[in-house]
A and B are shown apart, each in its own frame.
Chain A
Amino acid sequence: MSLTDGGAEPEVTVRDERTQEFVAEWRNASYNCYSSGHKFCREVCPVMQVTRNESWTPTAFHANVVAMERGELDVADIAADYVNCTQCGACELRCPNTLFTGDFYRFRTRTVDVVKAVRALAVEKDIHQPKWQSWNERTDERTHEPVLGDIDISQERVRDWAADLNIPIGGESILFVDCEAAYYRTSVPRAVAQILQAAGYEFGLMAEQWCCGGPAAEMGYVDQARRFAEHNLADWRSVGAKRVLVLDPHDYISFTEDYPKYFGADFDIEVVLVVELIADLIRDGVLTPTVPIERTITYHDPCRLNKRKGIWKEPREILRAIPGLTFRDVDRVTQWSYCSGGGGGLPIEKPELTAAISAGRIAKAADLAVDTLVSACPWSERPLSEAGAAQNIDVIDIHELLAESLGITVGGSRS
């Protein structure tokens, strides 16, 4: 970049054509933040809460794009900063440009999209975060995320969690089980499947389920994400599926935001969130929990349900239907600043940061003198359980808890 004399506008040289395309696409979204500078995002951001690092704020993530447009930064300079985001969506919801005017103008703050786009630009330019690169390579080889560490994950084992449950392959309604639940916390899909069976709700499994592709998209590996999505959509169609039942909020984001972007109006599959379906079944009297559960609980609003989708009533309806519980609730707006730290690839690249965020969330539960933190997101439950062990707080999935109150012996693994 060179400056001309006499205070004239600086002559700006963006470094390459791809960066020019990138800033052309994201300049309005970034100036929307940069020119406002409200900074309400700071205190609801889980990363900011535990690091106070100004380079990792939503404001910085947008300002960097403005600087890229002016030729003062290249993606190589700032790619590593963008690791520090769980994509929880708190910043973009709390931003006045979303909360007070976003629906009016049909123009809102899009931090999550900006973070994903910068990560994708970095990968496209062969700038990799080492653990993300390894994670996505292994996911690509195995068609599932390597959630068991050194223990191998294979396509042949993706339905092991359901071995004794007599679930058919195919049908109009397909239960999609995320990688963490299929291989690690298998008690969650077992609980969901047995609850649906108890309700007489017919469903099947995929012929060959792959990872949803969402984590790859979140970490910038967009071609891989798209390939996985194409496989899954083709599989659903091959088994005659008309709807997909989703137990994991991260999958729900993939199927209702990423897949529609990939396939447009050709995406003709109905997507049903299981926690909403179950709340309906309880409301309609199809399911009635009767076994008292003597626990003192609070509920963790998963970010991708509460902040990113506005879904918070149905989980509370389910919990209030379970007899015996003492429920010390924290409202959904207060929980905009709560997070497990388990999203956006953060636990892969920076597990110590995820642990600090989870410890903060568990401390808030401990202040309520509860013995149990209930979540509705399998990806939150591993870091929260690890933090909860230090405070003697059990972390349980809402489907596991409901199944117990329905008299179901769930089985499977919680760790």
Chain B
Amino acid sequence: MSYRYDEQHTPPEPTRVTDVAITTFEDLYEVDPRLMQEWVTQQEFPNWDSLRIMNSRHDHLEWMHEHFAHKVIHGSELLPADPDPNPSGEVSL
């Protein structure tokens, strides 16, 4: 609830989730910071800001659904029933 400098600048110990992503807070995923050291460097992010953005995104998506969606379905329901026979992604002409 309150702001303390030390707390805000100490994120939880990260856990790796893929080759390029880590997670810190529950449901909060971040790019591996080693991938952002050259062209665009990361900004200073106190914990409250990361959590504010994540929570705002959830609120916004819920708001969008309430205002514009007739119904909400899982993305997998849109995929074809038969798996792709060419998983390499090559396109035959």
A-B contact pairs, 26 of them (CB 8 A): A93-B56, A99-B53, A99-B60, A103-B45, A103-B49, A103-B57, A104-B30, A105-B30, A105-B40, A106-B30, A106-B42, A106-B43, A106-B45, A106-B50, A107-B42, A107-B43, A256-B8, A260-B8, A265-B9, A268-B5, A270-B4, A271-B4, A272-B2, A277-B1, A310-B55, A333-B60
CA distance A256 to B42 in the complex (A): 20
- Contacts A103-B53, A108-B53 given; indicate if A265 touches B5 (C-beta within 8 A): yes
| Shortest distance between the CB of A104 and any CB in chain B (Å) | 6
Chain B 1-41: CB-based contact to A (< 8 A → 1; otherwise 0): 11111101100000000000100000011110100100011
Q: Is A267 an interface residue (CB 8 A)?
A: yes
CA distance A107 to B46 in the complex (A): 12
Chain B neighbourhood of A230, CB < 8 A: none
Chain A 255-282: CB-based contact to B (< 8 A → 1; otherwise 0): 1100010001101101111001100100
Q: Which residues of A contact B (CB under 8 A)?
A: 28, 93, 98-100, 102-108, 110, 243, 255-256, 260, 264-265, 267-268, 270-273, 276-277, 280, 309-310, 331-334
Chain B 44-72: CB-based contact to A (< 8 A → 1; otherwise 0): 01101111111111011001000000000
Q: Which residues of B contact A (CB under 8 A)?
A: 1-6, 8-9, 21, 28-31, 33, 36, 40-43, 45-46, 48-57, 59-60, 63
| Shortest distance between the CB of B63 and any CB in chain A (Å) | 4
Return the chain B residue nearest A243 by Cβ: B2
CA distance A287 to B1 in the complex (A): 18
Chain A neighbourhood of B9, CB < 8 A: 265
CA distance A108 to B46 in the complex (A): 13
CA distance A203 to B5 in the complex (A): 21
Chain B neighbourhood of A268, CB < 8 A: 5
CA distance A106 to B29 in the complex (A): 10
Chain B neighbourhood of A98, CB < 8 A: 53
Chain B neighbourhood of A104, CB < 8 A: 21, 29-31
Chain B neighbourhood of A310, CB < 8 A: 48, 51-52, 55-56
